[in-house]
Amino acid sequence: MAAGVSEAFDAIDWSAPWLVPWRGLGQPVAQQVQSEPSVHRALQSAAPQDGPVGFVPQHELPDGTAYEQYIWDTRRVPTRDNLHDFFNGLVWLQFPQTKRRLNELQAQAIAADGVQAVRGPLRDALTVFDENGAVLHAPDALWAALVARDWQRLFIDLRPLWADARLVLFGHALLEKLVVPRKPMVAHVYHAPHAIRSIANLDACLAQQVQPQPWATKPFAPLPVLGVPGWWPANEAPDFYADAQVFRPPRAVSGG
C-alpha cells in the first residue's frame, strides 16, 4: 500500500451522520485494510459468494480496455489501494443491483458508441450519479424547495420537515471527499418516490428506476450536504446558509 493510505483510512469518522448507513459494513473492511494493506482483498472478504462482482488488483485491467466494459465482461472490479476505490467497493457491496444496472448501461453505451473523448449524455449522467449521487426521500415541500434552490425555505422555514426526510449518499467520490468535510461539497440528488425502508429495498427500487430516459437528462438536484440539518453543527446558525458561493441562487433564465 502506498505511503499515507493507512493514515487516510484512520481519518474516516464512522460516527459521521452520512456514514450511518455504511458503518456496519464499512468499518470492519476499513479495519482489515489497516491490518492487511490490500483494499481488493478486504472487499473480497466481505463480498457474498453469489454477489454480482468480485474485486481484483488494478493491474488485472488490460491496457486499452475500458474500465466499465471490463467489469461488465468479467464481473471483476479492478481496485487500487486508496479511499476512492475502497468506497467504490463498499457501494458495490451495499447497492449491488443499482451498481450492476449502472454498469450495464455504461457497457451498452460503450458497445454502441465506443470510448470517446467526451462521454455522451447518458454515460455522463451515469458517471455523475456514480461518483457524486445521493437519494432523498422527503416531503413534497422539501423536494420542491430543493429543486427551486430556495435555500431559505429548504433549510430554515421548512427545517422541521427534515425529521421526515432521509438522505442516503451513493457516490463513492462524494463519500471519499467527506472524509475531510468541507462546506462546498455537493451531492447530485435523485428523488426517491417511496419511503426508504432499508438499503436493500432502496437498492432494488433504484435499480429499476435507472433507465436511459430520463436519466440522460440528469434528473438530479444539487444539494450542499453539510447543509442538511443534523449533519453539521455549524448549520444550526441561520447565516450558515447565507454563503452564496455554496448555496447558489437559481440560474437566471435569459429572455429570447
Query: Does residue 227 register a pLDDT over 90?
Result: yes
Residue 252 lies in a domain: no
User: How many domains, the chain?
Assistant: 2
Over the stretch 136-191, which tens digit does the pLDDT of each residue have?
Answer: 999 999 999 999 999 999 999 999 999 999 999 999 999 999 999 999 999 999 99
Predicted local distance difference test score (pLDDT) of residue 256: 44
CA gap 202, 20 in Å, rounded: 15
Q: Are 157 and 97 in the same domain?
A: no
Over the stretch 12-54, which tens digit does the pLDDT of each residue have?
Answer: 999 999 999 999 999 999 999 988 879 999 999 999 999 999 9
Query: Is residue 198 within 8 Å of 160, Cβ to Cβ?
Result: no
Tell me which residue has cell 472524509. Answer: 179
Identify the domain boundary among 86, 118, 150. 118
Predicted local distance difference test score (pLDDT) of residue 113: 72
Predicted local distance difference test score (pLDDT) of residue 87: 98
Q: Are 52 and 111 in the same domain?
A: yes
Residue 123 lies in a domain: no
Over the stretch 177-188, which tens digit does the pLDDT of each residue have?
Answer: 999 999 999 999
Predicted local distance difference test score (pLDDT) of residue 115: 64
Query: Is residue 53 within 8 Å of 71, Cβ to Cβ?
Result: yes
Q: Are 205 and 161 in the same domain?
A: yes
Alpha carbon 105 to its chain's center: 17
Predicted local distance difference test score (pLDDT) of residue 116: 62
Q: Are 134 and 214 in the same domain?
A: yes
Q: Are 44 and 77 in the same domain?
A: yes
Over the stretch 97-123, which tens digit does the pLDDT of each residue have?
Answer: 999 999 999 999 888 776 665 578 999
Predicted local distance difference test score (pLDDT) of residue 154: 98
Mean pLDDT over residues 120-135, rounded?
95
CA gap 77, 85 in Å, rounded: 9
Predicted local distance difference test score (pLDDT) of residue 5: 61
Q: Are 195 and 216 in the same domain?
A: yes
Mean pLDDT over residues 242-255, rounded?
81
Domain extent for 103 = 5-118
Identify the domain boundary among 118, 148, 164. 118
Q: Are 175 and 91 in the same domain?
A: no
- 28 residue type, one letter: P
Cis peptide preceding 193, ω within 30 of 0: no
Q: Are 198 and 216 in the same domain?
A: yes
User: 251 falls in which pLDDT band (50, 70, 90)?
Assistant: confident
Residue 250 lies in a domain: no
> What is the 3 state secondary structure string of the chain?
CCCCHHHHHHCCCCCCHHHHHHHHHHHHHHHHHHHCCCHHHHHHHHCCCCCCCEEEEHHHCCCCCCHHHHHHHHCEEEECCCHHHHHHHHHHHHCHHHHHHHHHHHHHHHHHHCCCCCCCHHHHHHHHHHHHEEEEECCHHHHHHHHCCCHHHHHHHCHHHHHHCEEEECCHHHHHHCCCCCCCCEEEEEECCCCCCCHHHHHHHHHHHCCHHHHCCCCCEEEEHHHCCCCCHHHHCHHHHHCCCCCCCCCCCCCC
Percent of the chain, pLDDT > 70? 94
Predicted local distance difference test score (pLDDT) of residue 1: 47
CA gap 71, 210 in Å, rounded: 18
Q: Are 69 and 159 in the same domain?
A: no
Mean pLDDT over residues 71-97, rounded?
97
Query: Does residue 2 register a pLDDT over 80?
Result: no
User: 7 falls in which pLDDT band (50, 70, 90)?
Assistant: confident
Identify the domain boundary among 118, 140, 160. 118
Contacts of 222 (CB under 8 A, 6+ apart): 149, 186, 187, 188, 189
Q: Are 135 and 102 in the same domain?
A: no
Residue 226 lies in a domain: yes
Predicted local distance difference test score (pLDDT) of residue 241: 97
Residue 162 lies in a domain: yes
Rg (CA), the chain: 19
